[in-house]
Amino acid sequence: MANLDPRTKMIMVVCLSILALLYNTPAQLFLLFVFTLMLLLFFNFRLNVIGVYLKPFLALMLFLFVVQCVFSPSGLSILSVGQVSLVTSGGLLLGSSMVLRIIVVTAAAMLFTTFSPRDFILGLVQWKVPYELAFMVFIALRFLPVFRDELVNVITAVQLRGVDLKKVPWKQKLDLYRRLFFPVVYGVMLKAQHLAVSMESRGFRAYPTRTYLRRLNLYYADYIVMVTFLAATITLIVMGP
């Protein structure tokens, strides 16, 4: 079971992501997160890696949490200034759901790291997806950690210049992150340009057809898992949140 076909794991990621986007309550999303962690443990995935991936985006998740709490007032008032409710029970639930949704989708995407990139492209190609499109999807997923690494490098460079981000006021911190966005995007675009030159130098799309050294095969366990996940996802969607 631990050596499932990459296409089976792709179906699992799609099902988990769909449920994460449809669920709106923290309880449902938390249960989905626990189930995702159990899957990752089953595939011998180190759970601390999830925290490493999420660490650069903690400020963004906190910002989204605060925005949801403040601008989605409903239910009982928890924190108020005069007659204005700043934090309500409904806003708190929406903010928690937003953060949990991001965590669940990120954790589910970690299943992609349990098989090689070549198997990812090969699995899509054997599903009759054009090679160019399969390669483009793989590059899009590959650049997510690249974007994260660029963000970490830029923040580290700022800290080496003597800026302690923990002591910077929130208003200035948001302005700082806005200014850091441009060098991060520039670094990612520069790496994309280098990748394009490397692909052209290797004759990418030089021939209309491609050959492959090996072929992926679906076994009974793969079919059982795919059918189970698809059936469970459809059932949960039909039952409603």
What does the pLDDT read at residue 181? 76
What does the pLDDT read at residue 75? 64
Identify whether residues 49 and 133 lie together within a single domain: no
In a domain, 171, yes or no: yes
Mean predicted lDDT score pLDDT of the chain: 79
Range of the domain at 171: 117-210
Amino acid, res. 46 = R
Identify whether residues 100 and 122 lie together within a single domain: no
Res. 82 pLDDT band, cuts 50 70 90: low
Mean pLDDT of 141-154: 73
Q: pLDDT of 172-198, one tens digit each?
A: 767 777 777 777 777 778 887 887 888
H/E segment holding residue 177:
helix 170-201
| CA distances for 168 relative to 102, 158, 163, 164, angstroms | 26, 12, 8, 7
Mean pLDDT of 164-169: 70
In a domain, 1, yes or no: no
Identify whether residues 192 and 130 lie together within a single domain: yes
Q: pLDDT of 199-232, one tens digit each?
A: 778 777 777 777 777 788 888 888 999 999 999 9
**CA–CA dist 114, 5 (Å, integer):** 11
Identify whether residues 108 and 146 lie together within a single domain: no
Identify whether residues 47 and 72 lie together within a single domain: yes
Identify whether residues 150 and 104 lie together within a single domain: no
What does the pLDDT read at residue 35? 92
232 closest CA partner among 26, 35, 42: 35
